[in-house]
Amino acid sequence: MRFSGKRAVVTGGASGIGRATALRLAEEGAEVWIGDIDEAGGQELAGTSNGKIHFQRCDVMQAEDIRALMEAPGELDVLFNNAGAGGAPDKIDEISPEDWDRTQSLLLRSVALGIRYAAPLMAKRGGGAIVNTSSVSALGTGYAPTAYSTAKAGVLHLSKMAAADLAKHSIRVNAVIPGFITTNIFTRHLEVPAEMLDRANQVIAHVAAGAQPVKRAGRPEDIAAAVSFLLSDDAAFVTGTHLVVDGGITIGTRQSWDPDQPGLFAALEALQ
């Protein structure tokens, strides 16, 4: 019960990583407020939580919605800035200014404002902890579209800057870096029809299982476990950094871990 007596906010809490984290925090004693534009999903989760989880509609593209969500608990101890989507898929030489701005607003500005409105409330409590969702796409190319990846890189650096700014208030700030986690972000980004969702998710899970050294798809609960650690007092000496939870996908090229894909030196040795 690491969060007994604490109040938490989770953005994007109606599904996927946000939902799993809200459940994890509630199971460990927190009273949780989730914000999302998915009213049906948010209300369903709150309605089955025995009063441990509360739902408030929040569009993180709207500053006042973010402020209202942070203020909803009255007092605030921990925050998980998680809301997001795939953003614009276009490459840098094709993207429109409007799509670029929309993606940055959704994925980066929303996190900045979440921190902005949460920090004064945490300072009044004598401190707190914040975790922001970045992505492996912040660490290299080839994982996601350009606008999304750039925003997630911004989240990574923002987390470090915020940790420095808020240390005087005893507020810790860190980022979590998920890898290939099977959530609806992929099917929504690809605009998969509702009747094909189950089949699409099966395909995604199958592909993910072979994409990294850990031979299974990542689950929202994997990220929830990491986030709950970073938000808890078990991580009291951890701030301004990030935790990569990616099944090893960023270890290196496939040749470095897949014996069926020999690298350059193995290929040269085979010629001898």
Instruction: Give pLDDT tens digits along the chain (272 positions).
Output: 999 999 999 999 999 999 999 999 999 999 999 999 999 999 999 999 999 999 999 999 999 999 999 999 999 999 999 999 989 999 999 999 999 999 999 999 999 999 999 999 999 999 999 999 999 999 999 999 999 999 999 999 999 999 999 999 999 999 999 998 887 665 565 555 666 666 766 777 777 778 889 998 899 999 999 999 999 999 999 999 999 999 999 999 888 888 888 766 665 566 66
- Residue 141 burial by CB count (10 A; 0-12/13-18/19+): exposed, middle or buried? exposed
Instruction: Supply the pLDDT for residue 26.
Output: 98
Q: Look at residue 262 and tell me if it is in a domain.
A: no
Cβ–Cβ under 8 Å, residues 177 and 242? yes
Q: Look at residue 188 and tell me if it is in a domain.
A: no
Q: Look at residue 263 and tell me if it is in a domain.
A: no
Q: Look at residue 175 and tell me if it is in a domain.
A: yes
Q: Residue 125: which domain range?
A: 7-183+216-252
Q: Look at residue 205 and tell me if it is in a domain.
A: no
Q: Look at residue 199 and tell me if it is in a domain.
A: no
Comparing C-alpha atoms, which of 132, 116, 23, 1 is closest to residue 70? 116
Distances (CA, A) of 180 to 100, 118, 214, 215, 246: 23, 29, 11, 12, 6
Give the whole-angstrom CA distance, residue 41 versus residue 74.
24
Q: Look at residue 18 and tell me if it is in a domain.
A: yes
Which residues are known to be catalytic?
A: 148
Across the strands, what pairs with 182?
A: none
Q: Look at residue 266 and tell me if it is in a domain.
A: no
State the CATH number of the domain containing residue 75.
Answer: 3.40.50.720
Split into its structural domains, the chain has a count of 1
* In the block, residue with structure tokens 């208030």: 169
